[in-house]
Copies of this chain bind each other. A is one copy, B any other.
Amino acid sequence: MPASNIQTDPIFTDEERDAVYRCIHTRRDTRGQFTPEPIADEVLARILRAAHAAPSVGFMQPWDFIVVKDKAVKGKVHAAFEKAHAEAAMMFEGDQRDTYRTLKLEGIMEAPVGICITCDRSRTGPVVIGRTHLPEMDLFSAVCAVQNLWLAARAENVGVGWVSIAHRNELREALGIPDTIHPIAYLCLGRVTHLYDKPELEAAGWLPRMPMADITWFDQWHQQAGDEPLLKLL
């Protein structure tokens, strides 16, 4: 590898590091806080470039980005959500069903921009470095693009909500996506009135934040002496 390909100033300062952590820890799934203010193309371009900088298995870059601003298209996505949401409610029982119905789970119509990230599993041919033994690695690459986009948006003071309550084929139909392409995420983007301190499902008491000592192991699954110094720092 020629020396010119080496990052010449690779070290992050404490301030830069702290900004990254602030981004990671204050990122929220945004549903009910969107304002109609448009997102400037310059901002949208930076956010999309961040998604495109995600790691991808065998450098296949399997993603496409569909930027949705058309109200009729959003309406179709929203109809797909509404149908699946009604079905989903019936899967919960008793109090959980009542609680589920009170939750605001999407902002499809309110968010000025929707972005669908997809995965083209055949993009670079049938054999992909790193996908030979774990076939879902291409889907996972596209998910890394989602997370990059989400963090970039947070740093741009733009909220993002991931809508996953929809039949995949109805999402395809709403956006004209062929059967051969795997929709990974439909994301709602917009400026927000506010962001919450905690995930809304945590604040609503749906589930607690798991203590890290309950999910951190050493060398083997569920192996933990209990006095590992790392545990005290988590």
> Which residue numbers of A lie inside 8 Å of B, CB to CB?
1, 4-7, 10-12, 15-17, 19-27, 29, 41-42, 44-46, 48-50, 52-55, 57-61, 63-70, 73, 84, 87-88, 91-92, 100, 103, 105, 118, 124, 127, 129-134, 136-137, 139-140, 143-144, 146-148, 150-152, 154-157, 162, 164-168, 175-178, 181, 184-185, 194-203, 206-207, 209-210, 212, 215-223, 229-230, 233-234
- Chain B residues with CB under 8 Å of A129's CB are 88, 100, 103, 105, 201, 206
A129 CA to B162 CA, complexed, in Å: 12
Contact B64 A133 (CB under 8 A): no
CA of A177 to CA of B223, assembled, Å = 11
Contact A155 B12, beta carbon cutoff 8 Å: yes
Contact residues in B for A57 (Cβ distance below 8 Å): 164
Q: How far is the CA of A225 from the CA of B108 in the complex (A)?
A: 24
Measured between C-beta atoms, what is the minimum distance from A82 to chain B in Å? 12
The list of the 8 closest CB pairs from A to B, nearest first, reads A45-B233, A16-B19, A19-B19, A20-B155, A59-B201, A147-B147, A176-B220, A88-B132
Contacts A48-B234, A140-B184, A230-B67 given: A132-B200 contact, CB under 8 Å? no
Distance, CA A91 to CA B44, complexed state (A): 39
Residues of B within 8 A of A12 (CB): 19, 22-23, 154-157
CB distance from A144 to the nearest CB of B (A): 5
Out of B105, B151, B165, B201, which one reaches A24, CB within 8 Å?
A: B151
Are B219 and A127 interface neighbours, CB within 8 A?
Answer: no
Find out whether the CB atom of B55 lies under 8 angstroms from the CB atom of A29.
Answer: yes
Interfacial chain B residues near A152, Cβ < 8 Å: 20-21, 24
A202 and chain B: residue at smallest CB distance? B59
Bound Cα distance from A216 to B131, whole angstroms: 24
Taking CB atoms, residues of chain B closer than 8 Å to A46 are 21
B219 and A67 contacting across the interface, CB-CB below 8 Å: yes
- Contact with A1, one of B7, B156, B177, B200 (Cβ below 8 angstroms): B200
